[in-house]
Structure 1
Amino acid sequence: MAAPPDALPLAVTMGEPAGIGGNITLKAWAARREAGLPPFVVLDDPARLAALAARLGLAVPVQAVGSAAEAVALFDRALPVLPVALAVPVVAGAPNPANGAAVIASIDRAVALVRAGEAAAVVTNPIQKSALYAAGFRHPGHTEYLAHLAGLTDEPIMMLAAADLRVVPVTIHVALRDAVNQLTSAAIIHAGQVTAAALARDFGIARPRLAVAALNPHAGEGGAMGREEIDIIAPAVAALRAEGIEVIGPRPSDTLFHAAARRGFDAALCMYHDQALIPLKTVDFDSGVNITLGLPFVRTSPDHGTALDIAGTGTANATSLIAALTTADRMARHRSGARPA
């Protein structure tokens, strides 16, 4: 039997050490009581975090631990860190590919802890993909690498969530022209199936309601502005309905995200990256959370990058990481059958 979530910490990864991950992790721990955060353990270099806290004037005691199990009891007194060795010293704002192995090792160990039942969920700090590529990393990004670690054969699904909106881009990090060319009924159906299942399992929504955005202006105007709605999107919506999923669409995206419309669905499937991200970041820029759906473990992340330009300055905002920690805890509780805090 799995341990209850209260007995397990969240596993927080290092992310790019030259970015703001360490800064926001320290700030999140400092705000633990005010924010009501669950215990977490960090996969990082404890000496690096202690030095960073001292440099930024943050009163965060850092303590190395030998196991995730030690973190829960320690968490209120100190930031627990499972050591991951860096190859070279970190220079804020200047990623070094030599530390790429440590970044990947941090992710690997966090996933291993959760899959072994020693941690409740994975929360990843932002990575610098260019530095990892230079170190030989062969995956497009975090989401794809986590799917690889989980042994998934289907495409992973990315959800972006804020307090008042959840969006799922069907096509993600590709040029707009390529997104249109790659859009298929099968991809929309897969995104809808995985999203509906995750809303029920990880968010406690008994009967999820999905909205599907159109691709073209005015939902194509009956084919006058493009046939994607007729030939690709509407058949996918019909297929999802046939499976018993409550779904509306395709709906014009310019009327899908205002406050009254948002009350009519639990998540919106969007046809390309910015169609999803622009409304989410307009509604709640600071508190967005990146969630990977369909994994055999819970994974969340702040919805921002490494912010190399402000790394080491102490000005990074930890709000999104705090939201990612809170969301991961709630999702893990729903998944385990425990009552969310």
Structure 2
Amino acid sequence: MYKTLSPVLMTLGDANGIGPELICRLLAAKAYPDLRLALIGPEAPLVHHCRHFSITPFWTPLDPANPSALADRAPGIYLLTPPRLAGLPATPGKETPAGGLAAGESLEYAVPILAKHPDWGLVTGPLSKAALNEAGFAFPGHTEFLAERSGVGREGVCMHLCGPVLRVSLVTTHPPLSRVPALVTYDRVARCLELTWDYVKRLGVADKPIAVCGLNPHAGEGGLLGREDEDVVRPAVMAAVAKGMGAVGPLPADTVFHRAVGGEFSAILAMYHDQGLPPLKMFHFNETVNVTLGLPFVRTSVGHGTAFGLVGSGRADTGSLEAALDLAMRLV
């Protein structure tokens, strides 16, 4: 048995999206001498991008019927192709159900491995939500897929994105904006605060509190602009503080990110997707990492989408994928 880092699995994501290209370019350019990394997905897109970018193929195929054999392998890069994806053709840059099948089937294959080896990590490549659903996987994204398949459930996890400075958790993930107020409940805010506090402690940055955004403009102005912040958010924050967590809020979202960049907070808990992520991605666009808090295993991902229009151009930045892999290696 090799006494190195715990193995990490990496799904290609949508086989026709930018994921396979980024994986080829990153792993050809950067060495990970202590890591056992198993790519999961069809081989054809990897072969295509290696030819396109004049990269020597760098992976060793493994028997998909025995993925646990990775534990006994020397550090290196390996490939596990789920049986349903064997021979799947590559159509880079085209959004098709086949690409969604590759993404969904790779996740279906990875979850039982991680159930058996919860000390292993998972890095996921970007997927198309439309293609995923067209392929028969009725989930709005990775977070919900992994929460359900791991048995934790959607209410048990928290979507978190981060860069070198900002760290942002989300109370809600991908619902329509009209549904957000009803989904911001005491229990949901409390759960996300708990998971985020555990995460910043693990990172060693819990010397500063988590800033909790208000749902409404100006955090509701004491109820004048909406009661949710006083009736739901504030009691959850107060209960977290009473349990020993560092948290402040609700705070106006229009200033809290400026304060966080200045070093005042360990993380931010935002109420919804487009409250928390535009400031983060403006500041960390090419180095954003998505982390699912609350799963029984480490899961990180790129913070961007499939970028079908950039596939093959070589212009897509590998920084987010590199950061996602580095963080997974740090956490396993």
TM-score by length of 2: 0.88
Select which of 42, 46, 50 maps to 1:45: 42
Task: Report the 3-state secondary structure (helix = DSSP H, G, I; strand = E; otherwise coil) of the residue aligned with 2:285.
Answer: coil
Residue 8 of structure 2 aligns to which amino acid in structure 1?
A: L
SS in 2 for 1:132: helix
Q: Deviations over 1:92-119 (max 9, x none)?
A: 1223324544432321332333332387
**Contact kept in structure 1, 2:259 and 2:265, CA below 8 Å:** no
1:130-141 aligned at under 5 Å gives the runs 130-141=130-141
SS across alignment from 1:285: helix
Aligned residue number for residue 58 of structure 2: 61
In structure 1, the residue matched to 2:80 is 82
The residue type equivalent to 2:60 in the other structure is Q
Map of 1:270-309 to 2, 5 A cutoff? 270-309=270-309
Identity fraction in percent: 37
The Cα of 1:153 is off from its aligned counterpart by: 3.5
- The total of aligned residue pairs comes to 325
| Separation (CA, whole Å) in 1 of partners of 2:277 and 2:24 | 27
Residues 211, 247 of structure 1: 8 Å contact kept: yes
Other-structure match for 2:325:
325
Which residue pairs with 1:104 in the alignment? 104
Following TM superposition, by how much is the alpha carbon of 1:228 offset from its aligned partner in structure 2, in angstroms?
2.3
**Which segment drifts farther, 263-272 or 94-103?**
94-103
**Any conservation in 2 of the 1:223–1:230 contact (CA below 8 Å)?**
yes
Residue in 1 that maps onto 2:8: 10
Equivalent in the alignment of 2:186: 185
Distance 1:38 1:283, change over 3 A: farther
Q: Distance in 1 between matches of 2:196 and 2:331?
A: 14
Question: The residue matched to 2:286 in structure 1 has which SS?
Answer: coil
Structure 2 distance, partners of 1:127, 1:247, is: 33
Cα gap change, 1:71 to 1:166, in 2 (>3 Å): farther
Tell me the residue number matched to 2:145.
145
CA RMSD of aligned residues (A): 2.6
Equivalent AA in structure 2 for residue 28 of structure 1: L
Q: Is the 8 A contact 1:303 1:320 kept in 2?
A: yes
User: 1:191 Cα deviation (Å)?
Assistant: 0.9
What CA deviation, in whole Å up to 9, does each residue of 1:261-310 have, x standing for no partner? 65222111111111110111122110000000001000000000111111
Q: Does the 8 Å CA contact 2:37/2:75 hold for their aligned counterparts?
A: no
Q: Over residues 93-151 of structure 1, what are the superposed CA-to-partner deviations in whole Å (9 max), with x where a residue is unaligned?
A: 22332454443232133233333238720000011121221121122221111111211
Partner of 1:222: 222
Residue of structure 2 in register with 1:248 after alignment: 248
TM superposition shift of 1:82: 1.7
Measured after TM superposition, the shift of residue 80 of structure 1 is 2.1
Specify the code of the residue in structure 2 equivalent to 1:127: L
Going from structure 1 to structure 2, the CA distance change for 1:8 and 1:182 (only over 3 Å counts) comes to closer
Moved more, 23-32 or 252-261: 252-261
Task: Could you tell me which runs of 5 or more consecutive residues in structure 2 were left unpaired when the two chains were aligned.
Answer: none
Letter in 1 for 2:37: F
Counterpart code for 1:299 = R
Provide the secondary structure at the position in 2 that maps to 1:179: helix
Task: Report Cα offsets for 1:57-106 as digits up to 9, x if no partner.
Answer: 2344333233552796352xxx4212333454221122332454443232
CA contact (8 A) 2:197 2:206 kept: no
The answer to which of 84-93 and 64-73 deviates more is 64-73
* Alignment deviations for residues 174-225 of structure 1 (CA, whole Å, 9 cap, x no partner): 222321232222221111112112333x424566621101222322222332
User: Is 1:231 the counterpart of 2:231 in the alignment?
Assistant: yes
CA separation of 1:41 and 1:267: change in aligned 2, threshold 3 A:
same
Other structure's SS at 1:6 match: coil
Q: 2:18, 2:183 → 1: CA distance?
A: 34
- 63-72 vs 114-123, greater mean Cα deviation: 63-72
Relative distance call for 1:22 and 1:44 in structure 2 (3 A) is same
229-238 vs 19-28, which moves further: 229-238
1:12–1:40 contact (8 Å) kept in structure 2: yes
Aligned equivalents of 1:207, 1:330: Cα separation in 2: 20
Aligned mates of 2:56, 2:16 — CA distance in 1: 21
SS across alignment from 1:50:
helix
Instruction: Flag structure 1 segments of 5+ consecutive residues without an equivalent.
Output: 333-341
Counterpart residue type for residue 169 of structure 1: L
CA distance in 2, matches of 1:4, 1:268: 39
